[in-house]
Amino acid sequence: MVGQREKRHYHVLCRAAVCCRRGLNWAVWLGVGAVRVVVAASRIRVLGCRHRSEACFRAWYLHSVSSVEDRVRAVMTAPLREVRIAEQPVRPREGLIERWNLPESDRQALLRWGLPYDKQMRPFFQTGADPELVANLAGGQELSAASPGESLYTLVHWGREDLQLRIGAVAGTGRVLKIQPKPTTAGDLPPVLRETYADLYHASVEFFSSSVAQFVETSWRCHLARRIACELWQDEPGHDRPWREYEVWLSRLQDCERIILEHIERIDGQVRADDAGTLWTTVVTELTHPGN
């Protein structure tokens, strides 16, 4: 017979598995995990999620008349003009964007749609006309994502400011990349985790989207799909409930992630829904958890 203590342990471990799908390292170094991981002596405590207040949306598919999964699917497929009505966009200045060396379709996407404001992916358009970001091509992984001499226009600050994660558009092509000052390795983790993640390597340059226009569309859809998917956390079974209830709840959460990723692949064929190593996979598996 399973005791209450074992049920609580199962509950915590399952929750950690959901929130840290790509491992503790993402929660530590990105600072955008759905849980806070605290290492104390020989145990790991997973602290509770902070629930966010929900905005009042005007679009029909954002109201609770349908299932969460159906509403997530609607946000990922409805015309973008209907999706974006939920809140005000953040846009760069028109006179500035016209001076950026980007494809016309990318400039128009920024001017027309802008980007949603998110606490973790914060629009932060550079104020200069010349690209200000230069990638650190530290090794082979970085060279597969960027070329020597490329520079980028700053679009977004991602995660904690001290991590200096930037999302930018490559001048000339409009490809969207994540860059950071240096690769993340085991040496950047707390000492207690370094042996476990000895092979950790997150490149200083990683691919995000094929174009600014695709990044804009994906950002809006993911931003709002996240808010809907977060509603499932209100139905999270307590540790005293049968395990089967927790498995069903977890399956629904994973279904939302799958729906979002499959439609991101439709928007941008260079993003694979079944590739856990893509940055949009990281964003989606984080966005479906409150407390980001």
Q: Taking all residues of the chain, what is their mean pLDDT, rounded to a whole number?
A: 79
DSSP state of 50: P
Q: Which pLDDT score is estimated for 102?
A: 97
pLDDT tens per residue, range 11-55 = 444 444 444 444 333 333 333 333 333 333 333 333 333 333 333
Lowest mean pLDDT among 24-38, 50-64, 118-132: 24-38
Confidence band, pLDDT 50/70/90 cuts, at residue 120: confident
Q: Which pLDDT score is estimated for 52?
A: 34
Does position 195 have pLDDT exceeding 70, yes or no?
A: yes
Q: Which pLDDT score is estimated for 38?
A: 31
pLDDT over 70 percentage in the chain:
75
Averaged pLDDT, 104-111: 96
pLDDT tens per residue, range 66-107 = 899 999 999 999 998 888 765 789 999 889 999 999 999 999
Residue 87, amino acid: E
pLDDT over 90 percentage in the chain:
51
